[in-house]
Amino acid sequence: MGFSSALQSRAAHEALIVRQDAELRLMETMKRSIQMKAKCDKEYAISLTAVAQQGLKIDRADEMQGSLISKSWRSYMDELDQQAKQFKLNAEQLEVVCDKLTHLSQDKRKARKAYQEEHAKIAARLNHLTDEVVRKKSEYQKHLEGYKALRTRFEENYIKAPSRSGRKLDDVRDKYQKACRKLHLTHNEYVLSITEAIEVEKDFRNVLLPGLLEHQQSVQESFILLWRNILQEAVQYGDLTADKYKEIQKRIDTLIGSINPTEEYGEFTEKYKTSPTTPLLFQFDETLIQDIPGKLQSSTLTVDNLTVDWLRNRLQELEGAVRDCQEKQLKMIEHVNGGSPVANGSIISNGSNTSNGIQSNKDSLCRQSKDLNALRCQEKQKQKLVDMIKCALNEVGCEELPSGCDDDLTLEQNFIENGYNNEQQISLSTNRPLYEEEWFHGVLPREEVVRLLNNDGDFLVRETIRNEESQIVLSVCWNGHKHFIVQTTSEGNFRFEGPPFASIQELIMHQYHSELPVTVKSGSILRRPVCRERWELSNDDVVLLERIGRGNFGDVYKAKLKSTKLDVAVKTCRMTLPDEQKRKFLQEGRILKQYDHPNIVKLIGICVQKQPIMIVMELVLGGSLLTYLRKNSNGLTTRQQMGMCRDAAAGMRYLESKNCIHRDLAARNCLVDLEHSVKISDFGMSREEEEYIVSDGMKQIPVKWTAPEALNFGKYTSLCDVWSYGILMWEIFSKGDTPYSGMTNSRARERIDTGYRMPTPKSTPEEMYRLMLQCWAADAESRPHFDEIYNVVDALILRLDNSH
């Protein structure tokens, strides 16, 4: 277990500093004790010498000549004298040991100081950026208030101005445009500061702090190794040869020999073990742009005529910073390969040698690796910003830059639309309206357009809304996908880079027949027009009659097709939704168009020629199954309820065979016709794959209908739909009751994870409830597939029919 993974929290850092202080105090205690022992050994040596000299003072020694006792005594006294000299020598060596311990203590203090400074340095970088994000947000709020005030003044003066002109109006407009520019620049600075803070925090947590802790662990273990060697020396010079001292010495040797540097901090690390530091969450404050019309989007750079030059300059600065980091890394690697030491910041300066020899190749390499990691982090942080700006600039592609003030340059149009100008807008017309051309696809989103253009030269024309203005776009497949906005001349003609034409049709036909590139830079040539698919209907062919419901994206209407007089159901998509939401709206139509089953609601077509986008489906007169169950609760028979379960199983069996995961199967998302036949509907969350992993969070997930593995791990398979089907069965037999009634979503999840399952609704056949429980098996692989479910329900209905 290492410092880098276990000691990242602030509490662990402070505990490590406290531990080092305690080790320094222990060193001082050891040093004083060894000094005292050396002093005692010297005094003992002096006393032994005095004893020996005293013992050799034998009066009239000649009288004892030849005596064995006298000879033994003299030898004994000589040995005592030799023993005194040895004690004196050991005492002198213990003083040397004390000096080594002093040097070790000094080096350890330096190492602790270096660690504290390095830790404070990398933490200060994160703290600085955190403060910077707060400061940028404060600036954003300040400029936002100024912008709103000037916008209000401009609107008031514009309404009051009799001719929509005048010096005062121009002065207000000029101030308003400046405020708009400043707001957008502040927006981009705020976005970049958040992005940089995210990268710095990520590197602090994953690279810099672990690297510093790993280096610190290496230094600490080096000290422990030296410390152990010093203790072994101290013990060696106190070794006595008497049996009882040998036993003591043996025990001491065993104890000191058991010191292992790699295990020294095991108990300490376990005691202060913490989880890796929780990532700081940097998010764009979306309340800043709630009241701003236009294209300012959270965490997204705004590329327009007000910001493009600033972004390009910022890009150059960041690219220079990236190159600088790369050059520094290269120089550092060359130093390492050439054997040159990295002296800057190392614990011991180049060329110095303490008596303890603390500097080692391992320490030097650790230091170099840590510095190199820091440079790599800086490069990655800057590169993240470079990529973000490049992506924003490149996303515009071949289209024109949008206007900088979303509402500034189109404010007159807004006033017209809101009734401030009663004059009728005049548009150029041709013999045949553009929307009647087969290669005109209306407001079909770019994602759908890219799907249709597969070969070089494929093209179509569509409409896009940019800065609240409608623009006609030519989309071409040519070395990728390119999109060209049709330019309008001052005379009201249309062009790209070539000559102007009176109508868009003439312009497109010229490009098609001449085989000239749309623009010289792109080289794109028009070769094959891609016509509308059969399910792309004309908006004018659909007559909305009455609103019959509300969906996630807009209202649902009963409608009629002019061409066939057929009654249909129409889902509409609100015009104000962003393109991403419109793409999700059309996803249901994209899935339904390829399905044909009596228990799946049928798609008739989609309308994308103009706003609002619409999905046209068969009209199922019984309406929502949930509403039907509640309204007809008294009249439903068990046979009808089982038939509804069979219909739903048949539809889901068909979807399972097509590798379609519905993800939102519930009574509210099923329809029922007048013959009680159930049809699966609402494919807004569906995915056409065998397994789907949620990557965008668990927002808007129907918790009480969703399988545990999908809630806990975001993993969806057809067996998750089986769990939801069990809830649908419960809804049918409870005649529209709410599942897990009285429980919150979180409480229901807790109960389900502990094994709770809803009790059987009143009058439910035992076999049907048993099937529900099988659908609610905790192990997904233990649940039946829809083919098996259908067969079981069908057999039960057949048995019920035969019994009557």
Q: Cα angle at 708 between 705 and 713, to 5 degrees?
A: 120
Q: Please check whether residue 166 is in contact with residue 154, taking contact to mean a CB–CB distance below 8 angstroms.
A: no
Is 749 in a helix, a strand, or coil?
Answer: helix
- Is 596 marked as binding a ligand? no
| The token pair that represents 53 in the structure block | 């000299």
Cα–Cα distance, 709 to 752 (Å, whole number) = 11
Residue 64 CB neighbours (<10 A): 15
For 115, phi and psi rounded to 5 degrees? -65, -45
Cα–Cα distance, 415 to 155 (Å, whole number) = 9
Q: Is 664 a catalytic residue?
A: yes
Is 532 in a helix, a strand, or coil?
Answer: coil
Q: Which amino acid is at 641?
A: Q
Q: Which of the residues 203, 408, 647, 664 is marked catalytic? A: 664
Cα–Cα distance, 65 to 676 (Å, whole number) = 135
Q: Quote the DSSP letter at residue 763.
A: T
Q: Which amino acid is at 717?
A: T
Residues 6+ apart with CB under 8 A from 144: 183, 288, 292
Residue with tokens 């029922």: 672
- Is 556 marked as binding a ligand? yes
| The token pair that represents 433 in the structure block | 């309206």
- Is 498 marked as binding a ligand? no
> How far from the centroid of its chain's Cα atoms is residue 34's Cα?
57
For 70-136, the three-class secondary structure string (H helix, E strand, C coil) is: HHHHHHHHHHHHHHHHHHHHHHHHHHHHHHHHHHHHHHHHHHHHHHHHHHHHHHHHHHHHHHHHHHH
Burial-class residue 380 by CB neighbours within 10 Å (0-12, 13-18, 19+): middle
Q: Please check whether residue 108 is in contact with residue 161, taking contact to mean a CB–CB distance below 8 angstroms.
A: no
- Is 551 marked as binding a ligand? yes
Cα–Cα distance, 790 to 518 (Å, whole number) = 56
Which region, left, alpha or beta, applies to residue 269 given φ > 0 means left and ψ of -120 to 50 means alpha?
alpha
> How far from the centroid of its chain's Cα atoms is residue 684's Cα?
24
Question: Among 373, 371, 380, 382, which Cα is nearest to 320's?
Answer: 382
The helix (run of H) or strand (run of E) holding residue 543 is strand 542-550
Q: Please check whether residue 38 is in contact with residue 94, taking contact to mean a CB–CB distance below 8 angstroms.
A: yes
Cα–Cα distance, 568 to 606 (Å, whole number) = 12
Q: Which amino acid is at 668?
A: R
Cα–Cα distance, 519 to 498 (Å, whole number) = 8
Residues 6+ apart with CB under 8 A from 251: none
Kindly report whether the peptide bond that precedes residue 612 is cis, defined as omega within 30 degrees of 0.
yes
DSSP 228-265: HHHHHHHHHTT---SHHHHHHHHHHHHHHHT--GGGTT
| Cα dihedral sign, 402-405-408-411 | positive
Cα–Cα distance, 424 to 413 (Å, whole number) = 12
490-525: buried (b, 16+ CB within 10 Å) or exposed (e) per residue? eeebbebeeebbebbbebbebbbeeeebbeeebebb
Q: Count Cα neighbours of 783 within 13 Å in the Cβ-side half-sphere.
A: 23
- Is 552 marked as binding a ligand? yes
Burial-class residue 304 by CB neighbours within 10 Å (0-12, 13-18, 19+): buried
- Is 549 marked as binding a ligand? yes
Question: Among 591, 770, 793, which Cα is nearest to 687's?
Answer: 591
- Is 571 marked as binding a ligand? yes
Known binding-site positions: 548-556, 571
Q: Which residues are catalytic?
A: 664
Binding residues for ATP: 548-556, 571
